[in-house]
């Protein structure tokens, strides 16, 4: 794909971050903040509140199962 993009003279940018196995939600937020600084996904007016505007998709809550019932302990 990269070779095709280069031969077609298509501009692109890649943001890459190495992550460990497991829960990568903090890594996703660590990547989205610089992305927002670059692309201004959340306006400058809301930059103070931007941390409140990013939400984890509900499907991410099921990545590691539902956890153990508290009654087991």
pLDDT tens column, 47-64: 555 555 677 888 887 777
Tell me what pLDDT residue 67 has.
Answer: 63
Interatomic CA distance for residues 66 and 45, integer angstroms: 37
E-strand stretches of 14-67? none
Tell me what pLDDT residue 57 has.
Answer: 85
3-state secondary structure of 23: coil
pTM of the model: 0.59
């Amino acid at each position: 794909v990269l070779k095709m993009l280069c031969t077609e003279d298509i501009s692109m940018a890649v943001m890459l971050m190495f992550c460990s196995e497991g829960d990568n939600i903090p890594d996703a937020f660590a990547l989205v903040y610089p992305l927002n600084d670059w692309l201004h996904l959340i306006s400058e007016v809301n930059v103070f509140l931007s941390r409140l505007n990013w939400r984890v998709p509900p499907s991410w809550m099921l990545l590691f199962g539902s956890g153990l019932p508290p009654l087991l302990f």
